[in-house]
């Protein structure tokens, strides 16, 4: 057993990519070792902007020998007149053996005896196994884009960034492979600024060797150091840190030897809206914002440097110069933009392209405005306020501040709307209408923002699908999956419920496209494609929405087309129902019924009681009639959510008569009339269940 070490040295990898690549490298290496039955201790992962590192304290140097059984043709083919046939001799030669090495043995099926030989396969050197596997593993690592480079010799391999060194060792032995023109060796590099940066990477403790050269290769350790440094700096400066987990993750992936620097921007810029300075610090400088002791925005900020400076005040000054310059631009635009109201800016939207082939943003605004105006009641909003917010919601795209800081769109629209004297409801709707941007973002608290968000996402999906720009498994350049996820979250949320069904949302959005001056006709096929795409996202989101996949699938496939929030409520109750013995039995019966009816084809809907020949079918019919009345009464009274549990409880009472029916009754009887009557009974039973959900999908 010897220590195993793999390190791929690379030019700086973009933030967020290296951890995924490191995990894939770890998984790929582990699979090769497992498949080859090579004993190895835990594979420890190290990831930094310039390296992917895998280390195991012990790994077998030689693969163990193993027995291999070779089966040949059966005895009646292998022997001819008691002597080996040409088929037997040919098989033996192909196997590298002679016929004498084989015996005739039963495989265990009792059918015949077959040629059988047992050989010992010599184990390979583990270094050779890994040398063969590593190039393919490296080529398969996930990255958003790959590049090829030529700095002398031609390189056939592509990678996320140029590869500069490879360390591959099993004990003292170098694992002999090459990738992207670099041959594996023992030499590694520490931090770019380390005096003793280059040297032979310690195969026994590479993490300690790197730390001596100013590299914290353990990503979690590096992240913890950053968090500790930020809180210590905040305490020393007398401010509180604005929590930003995403930014912590980002700077963790941008540094190898992180140290926190404290800076200050000019007090005058505190007059800017709070998000302006935060966005500038985060997105342009990757710096952290702070609050003072009273919870107000502070002009103190923190940067995370990739080196510990002997003169941190000089590093801080450099950051301050850049931040102040950017905020000076923001202040200039913030003072100038309000001289023109959002309403007067609407006309300028006709000069901004929405998407080649889909017209202008001004056209989009008219579609959104008409959508919320036509459907205000179902969207649960005031029509006048909603159409006003939709009319103004994109005007901030023409402002200088949003042009300089695109991340502020929506937010600055709300600020400027308030300055223009728009109502608080309209201003808030403009500010929130992009929410949620990500799958985990908060939903808008404003109902009008929610309505505009629904309209915009449906509008975008239809437009891009019309152009054929449909996401693939590996590419979604227009963030259509994100649009679909946002639409689902807005429609399925039961607070401030939207009573439009998903079909209605798509139809109404398509109507706006088809009625405007842009010469685009959204076809029924495109609408169905969008509906199916959103449904796929809904199923994929089931865990995030706290549903089981089967429950939401069953709820959506009810015969009653309901708003998505109601289907979500049904799914919530189905999760308990599918875990109960009654639910499981009824789900299984429904699946059986669905299969029977599918094979039967056209079915009469009339049930003739005089054709019942078995007590079980008479009992089921009587119980079905009784249950139908109770079910329809329960499902139609009171608040929708309060109806679901009683309705499912009533349906569960059909378990015993349904079980008895399938135990005692032959559905596909020889007599055509009796068979059709029984099929009609099952069809009526399934229709009752489909009223709430397709429970056959619960199994």
Give 118-160 pLDDT, tens digit per residue. 888 888 999 999 999 999 999 999 998 899 888 776 678 899 9
Establish if 552 belongs to a structural domain.
no
Instruction: Select from 187, 157, 165, 207 the least CA-distant residue to 54.
Output: 207
CA distance 357 to 220: 46
Per-residue pLDDT, 67: 80
**What's the whole-number mean pLDDT along residues 102-124?**
85
CA distance 430 to 422: 10
Does one domain contain both 486 and 518? yes
Does one domain contain both 310 and 349? no
**What's the whole-number mean pLDDT along residues 272-278?**
94
Buried-state track 105-121, b at ≥16 Cβ within 10 A, e below 16 = eeeeeeeeebbbbeeee
Q: Using alpha carbons only, give the angle 610, 611, 616 rounded to the nearest 5 degrees.
A: 100
Establish if 78 belongs to a structural domain.
yes
Does one domain contain both 687 and 619? yes
CA distance 40 to 26: 13
Per-residue pLDDT, 95: 87
**What's the whole-number mean pLDDT along residues 404-409?**
94
Residue 96 predicted with pLDDT over 90: no
Q: Where are the beta strands (DSSP E) in 62-102?
A: 66-74, 79-80, 83-84
Beta bridge partners of 264: 300
**What's the whole-number mean pLDDT along residues 150-174?**
89
If pLDDT is split at 50, 70 and 90, which confidence band does 435 have? Answer: very high
CA distance 603 to 595: 13
**What's the whole-number mean pLDDT along residues 73-78?**
88
Per-residue pLDDT, 572: 95
Handedness of CA 183, 184, 189, 192 (dihedral sign): positive
Q: Are strands 51-59 and 2-10 parallel, antiparallel or unpaired?
A: antiparallel
**What's the whole-number mean pLDDT along residues 68-83?**
87
Residue 196 predicted with pLDDT over 90: no
Instruction: Decide: helix, strand or coil at residue 217.
Output: coil
Number of other CB atoms surrounding residue 321 within 10 Å: 12
CA distance 476 to 262: 39
- Tell if the pTM clears 0.85, that is, is over it: no
Residue 478 predicted with pLDDT over 90: yes
CA distance 673 to 640: 40
Does one domain contain both 302 and 347? no
**Higher pLDDT residue, 89 or 462?**
462
Q: Which residues contact 456 (CB under 8 A, 6 or more apart)?
A: 364, 368, 433
Per-residue pLDDT, 656: 93
**Higher pLDDT residue, 16 or 153?**
16
Give 346-376 pLDDT, tens digit per residue. 999 999 999 999 999 999 999 999 999 999 9
Instruction: Select from 480, 441, 442 the least CA-distant residue to 459.
Output: 480
If pLDDT is split at 50, 70 and 90, which confidence band does 473 have? Answer: confident
CA distance 166 to 547: 46
Residue 517 predicted with pLDDT over 80: no
Instruction: Select from 237, 245, 331 the least CA-distant residue to 292.
Output: 237
Establish if 551 belongs to a structural domain.
no
Q: Percent of the chain scored above 90 by pLDDT?
A: 81
CA distance 41 to 445: 51
Mean pLDDT, the chain, rounded, equals 93
Residue 43 per-residue DSSP state? P
Give 602-618 pLDDT, tens digit per residue. 887 789 999 999 999 99
Does one domain contain both 190 and 223? no
Residue 10 predicted with pLDDT over 90: yes
Residue 443 per-residue DSSP state? P
Instruction: Select from 142, 136, 134, 192 the least CA-distant residue to 168.
Output: 134
Establish if 549 belongs to a structural domain.
no
Per-residue pLDDT, 265: 97
Does one domain contain both 414 and 431? yes
Q: Which residues contact 91 (CB under 8 A, 6 or more apart)?
A: 72, 73, 78, 115
Establish if 655 belongs to a structural domain.
yes
Does one domain contain both 196 and 259? no
Does one domain contain both 372 and 515? yes
Buried-state track 27-62, b at ≥16 Cβ within 10 A, e below 16 = ebbeebbeebebebeebebbbbbbbbbbbbeebbbe
User: Which parts of 337-404 fold into alpha helices (H)?
Assistant: 342-345, 361-374, 376-379, 383-392, 400-404
Q: In the 3-class helix/strand/coil scheme, how is 482-506 assigned residue by residue?
A: HHHHHHHHHHHCCCCCCCCCHHHHH
Whether 684 and 604 have beta carbons less than 8 Å apart is answered as no
Does one domain contain both 373 and 475? yes
If pLDDT is split at 50, 70 and 90, which confidence band does 699 have? Answer: confident
Beta bridge partners of 114: 74, 105
CA 344 from centre of chain: 40
Q: Are strands 198-200 and 259-264 parallel, antiparallel or unpaired?
A: unpaired
Does one domain contain both 519 and 408? yes
Q: Are strands 103-106 and 178-179 parallel, antiparallel or unpaired?
A: unpaired
Number of other CB atoms surrounding residue 575 within 10 Å: 16
Start-to-end CA distance of the chain, whole Å, equals 48
Give 526-555 pLDDT, tens digit per residue. 999 999 999 999 999 999 999 999 999 999
Per-residue pLDDT, 293: 82
Residue 674 predicted with pLDDT over 90: yes
**Higher pLDDT residue, 605 or 345?**
345
Instruction: Select from 69, 103, 72 the least CA-distant residue to 86.
Output: 72
Residue 426 predicted with pLDDT over 90: yes
**What's the whole-number mean pLDDT along residues 644-661?**
93
Give 395-406 pLDDT, tens digit per residue. 999 999 999 999
Does one domain contain both 467 and 411? yes
Phi, psi for residue 239 in degrees, rounded to 5? -130, 170
Establish if 465 belongs to a structural domain.
yes
Establish if 572 belongs to a structural domain.
no
CA distance 692 to 643: 10
Q: Are strands 259-264 and 79-80 parallel, antiparallel or unpaired?
A: unpaired
Tally of domains in the chain: 5
Residue 281 predicted with pLDDT over 80: yes
Break the chain down into helix, strand, coil percent, rounded to 5: 55, 15, 35
User: Which parts of 337-476 fold into alpha helices (H)?
Assistant: 342-345, 361-374, 376-379, 383-392, 400-404, 411-419, 424-432, 447-466
Give 571-586 pLDDT, tens digit per residue. 999 999 999 998 999 9
Establish if 32 belongs to a structural domain.
yes
Instruction: Select from 305, 335, 171, 319 the least CA-distant residue to 226.
Output: 305
Q: Which residues contact 193 (CB under 8 A, 6 or more apart)?
A: 214, 307
Whether 459 and 371 have beta carbons less than 8 Å apart is answered as yes
No. of H helices and E strands in the chain?
A: 28, 18
Residue 109 predicted with pLDDT over 80: no
Q: Where are the beta strands (DSSP E) in 234-307?
A: 240-241, 259-264, 288-291, 297-305
Parent domain of 627: 581-698
Per-residue pLDDT, 519: 67
Residue 4 per-residue DSSP state? E
Residue 441 predicted with pLDDT over 80: yes
Residue 294 predicted with pLDDT over 90: no
Residue 167 predicted with pLDDT over 90: yes
Per-residue pLDDT, 459: 97
Last residue of a domain, one of 317, 338, 359: 338
Does one domain contain both 199 and 276? no
């Amino acid at each position: 057993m010897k220590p195993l070490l793999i390190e791929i040295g690379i030019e700086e990898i973009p933030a967020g990519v290296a951890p995924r690549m490191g995990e894939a490298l770890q998984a790929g290496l582990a699979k090769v070792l497992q498949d080859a039955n090579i004993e190895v201790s835990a594979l420890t992962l190290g990831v930094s902007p310039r390296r992917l590192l895998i280390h195991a304290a012990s790994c077998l140097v030689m693969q163990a020998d193993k027995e291999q059984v070779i089966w040949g043709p059966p005895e009646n083919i292998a022997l001819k007149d008691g002597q080996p046939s040409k088929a037997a001799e040919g098989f033996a030669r192909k196997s590298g053996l002679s016929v004498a090495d084989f015996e005739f043995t039963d495989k265990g099926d009792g059918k015949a005896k077959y040629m059988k030989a047992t050989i010992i396969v010599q184990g390979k050197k583990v270094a050779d196994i890994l040398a063969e596997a590593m190039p393919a593993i490296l080529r398969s690592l996930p990255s958003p884009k790959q590049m090829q480079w030529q700095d002398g010799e031609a390189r056939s391999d592509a990678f996320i960034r140029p590869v500069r060194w490879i360390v591959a060792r099993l004990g003292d032995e170098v694992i002999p492979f090459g990738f992207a023109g670099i041959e594996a060796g023992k030499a590694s590099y520490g931090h770019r600024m380390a005096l003793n940066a280059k040297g032979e990477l310690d195969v026994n403790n590479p993490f300690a060797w790197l730390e001596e050269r100013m590299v914290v290769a353990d990503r979690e350790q590096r992240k913890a150091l950053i968090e500790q440094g930020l809180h210590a700096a905040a305490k020393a400066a007398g401010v509180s840190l604005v929590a930003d987990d995403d930014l912590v993750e980002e700077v963790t992936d941008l540094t190898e030897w992180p140290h926190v620097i404290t800076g200050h921007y000019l007090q005058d810029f505190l007059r800017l809206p709070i998000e302006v300075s935060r966005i500038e610090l985060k997105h342009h400088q990757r710096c952290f914002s702070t609050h003072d002791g009273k919870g107000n925005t502070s002009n103190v900020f923190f940067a995370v440097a990739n080196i510990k400076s002997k003169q941190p005040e000089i590093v801080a000054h450099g950051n301050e110069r850049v931040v102040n310059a950017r905020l000076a631009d923001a202040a200039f635009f913030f003072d100038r933009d309000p001289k023109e109201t959002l309403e007067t800016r609407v006309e300028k939207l006709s000069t901004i392209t929405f998407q080649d082939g889909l017209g202008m943003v001004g056209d989009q605004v008219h579609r959104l405005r008409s959508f919320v105006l036509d459907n205000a009641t179902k969207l649960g909003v005031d029509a006048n306020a909603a159409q006003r917010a939709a009319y103004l919601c994109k005007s901030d795209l023409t402002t200088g501040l949003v042009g300089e800081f695109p991340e502020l769109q929506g937010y600055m629209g709300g600020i400027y709307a308030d300055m223009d004297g728009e109502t608080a409801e309209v201003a808030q709707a403009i500010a929130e209408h992009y929410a949620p941007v990500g799958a985990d973002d908060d939903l808008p608290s404003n109902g009008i923002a929610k309505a505009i968000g629904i309209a915009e996402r449906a509008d975008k999906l239809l437009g891009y699908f019309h152009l054929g720009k449909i996401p693939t498994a590996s590419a979604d350049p227009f963030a259509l999956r994100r649009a679909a996820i946002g639409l689902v979250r807005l429609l399925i949320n039961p607070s401030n419920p939207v009573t439009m069904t998903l079909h209605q949302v798509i139809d109404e959005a398509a109507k706006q496209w088809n009625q405007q001056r842009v010469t685009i006709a959204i076809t029924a096929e495109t609408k169905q494609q969008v509906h199916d795409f959103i449904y796929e996202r809904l199923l994929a989101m089931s865990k995030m929405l706290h549903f089981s996949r089967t429950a939401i699938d069953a709820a959506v496939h009810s015969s009653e087309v309901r708003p998505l929030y109601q289907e979500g409520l049904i799914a919530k109750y189905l999760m308990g129902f599918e875990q109960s013995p009654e639910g499981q039995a009824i789900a299984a019966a429904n699946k059986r019924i669905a299969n029977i009816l599918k094979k039967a084809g056209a079915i009469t809907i009339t049930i003739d009681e005089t054709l019942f020949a078995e007590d079980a079918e008479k009992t089921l019919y009587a119980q079905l009639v009784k249950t139908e009345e109770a079910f329809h009464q329960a499902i139609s009274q009171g608040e929708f959510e309060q109806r679901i549990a009683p309705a499912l409880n009533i349906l569960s009472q059909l378990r015993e008569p349904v079980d008895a029916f399938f135990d005692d009754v032959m559905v596909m009887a020889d007599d055509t009339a009796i068979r059709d009557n029984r099929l009609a009974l099952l069809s009526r039973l399934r229709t009752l269940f489909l009223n709430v959900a397709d429970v056959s999908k619960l199994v």
